[in-house]
Amino acid sequence: MLVSVVIPVYNEIPTLAEILRRVTAVDFPKEIVIVDDCSRDGSRELLQQLSDKGLSVIGGTPKNRNELRILFQEKNQGKGAALRRGFAESTGDIVIVQDADLEYDPREIPRVIQPIVDGDADVVFGSRFIGTPRRVLYYWHSVMNQLLTTLSNMTSNLNLTDMETCYKAFRSEVIRSVTIEENRFGIEPEITAKVARGGWRVFEVPISYHGRTYEEGKKIGWKDGVRALYAIGKYSLKR
């Protein structure tokens, strides 16, 4: 079973090589689909080297099958747009999102996708809030996350604990049947609403979380929270 790991990239040069080393080192057959969203910090140049010369550029110890696909956006459009293209270009049986920072541990991908492999789930969310280690950071971020998850649950009739999580895995037929409209971080509530509307079997599994500060490169801000609120309303009402 081939797993497509879709990685949106925008100005992640401090962590990009390391996250790719970690992804390739996990022992399962995978297709790594990287979408560069017009980075300007050297990420694009590193990815071009990878495209030309292969995984030897970043070193490490790759395990199992690692197919590499690198896509370049012509202009900066946002995470949602990058994922839309990555999902469309993926060819695996299972598709999972991996951020290009080091907040999420690729060694946990097998745990996240296991309910799909077992035939129990169509979609799996990795939750940062159900009993695993996580870095303690911004209080108001956690309040906003809980608010957004609660509002999303109220409109979708799901009982998720972490709607905003990066780790979302799908059977390929599921994600390819979803038309993604959001270009930025509004993609999280959009996908959740559309998955719920589709009646797909949704599971949630615990994951660890190593959050980063704004000084370390965190990008999401209050405007993205406002857009997420808008997206929850829009896609819960839209049929």
Confidence label for 112 from pLDDT (cuts 50, 70 and 90): very high
Q: What is the pLDDT of residue 215?
A: 61
Q: Where do the H-state alpha helices sit in the chain?
A: 16-25, 43-53, 79-89, 109-117, 139-156, 172-176, 187-198, 222-237
- Report d(CA 58, CA 203) in Å as an integer: 34
- What is the rounded average pLDDT of the residues 222-231? 78
pLDDT digits (tens, 9 = 90+) for 28-41: 999 999 999 999 99
pLDDT of 239 strictly over 90: no
Confidence label for 225 from pLDDT (cuts 50, 70 and 90): confident
pLDDT digits (tens, 9 = 90+) for 65-111: 999 999 999 999 999 999 999 999 999 999 999 999 999 999 999 99
pLDDT digits (tens, 9 = 90+) for 144-192: 878 889 999 999 999 999 999 999 999 999 999 999 999 988 999 999 9
Confidence label for 219 from pLDDT (cuts 50, 70 and 90): low
Q: What is the pLDDT of residue 217?
A: 54
Q: What is the pLDDT of residue 138?
A: 62
Percent of residues, the chain, with pLDDT higher than 90: 77
- What is the rounded average pLDDT of the residues 118-124? 98
**Residue 132 per-residue DSSP state:** S
Q: What is the pLDDT of residue 24?
A: 98
Nearest to 111 by CA among 98, 121, 126: 126
- What is the rounded average pLDDT of the residues 206-213? 81
pTM of the full structure? 0.90
- Report d(CA 115, CA 203) in Å as an integer: 7
pLDDT of 139 strictly over 80: no
Top-confidence residue, 185 or 123: 123
Top-confidence residue, 217 or 99: 99
Q: Strands 168-171 and 123-127: what pairing?
A: antiparallel
Top-confidence residue, 199 or 224: 199
- Report d(CA 113, CA 125) in Å as an integer: 9
Averaged pLDDT score across all residues of the chain? 91
- Report d(CA 88, CA 6) in Å as an integer: 10
Q: What is the pLDDT of residue 233?
A: 86
Residues comprising the chain, all counted: 239
Nearest to 28 by CA among 110, 96, 85, 84: 110
Tokens of residue 167, six digits: 């780790």
Confidence label for 226 from pLDDT (cuts 50, 70 and 90): confident
**Cα 201–Cα 203–Cα 205 angle in degrees, nearest 5:** 165
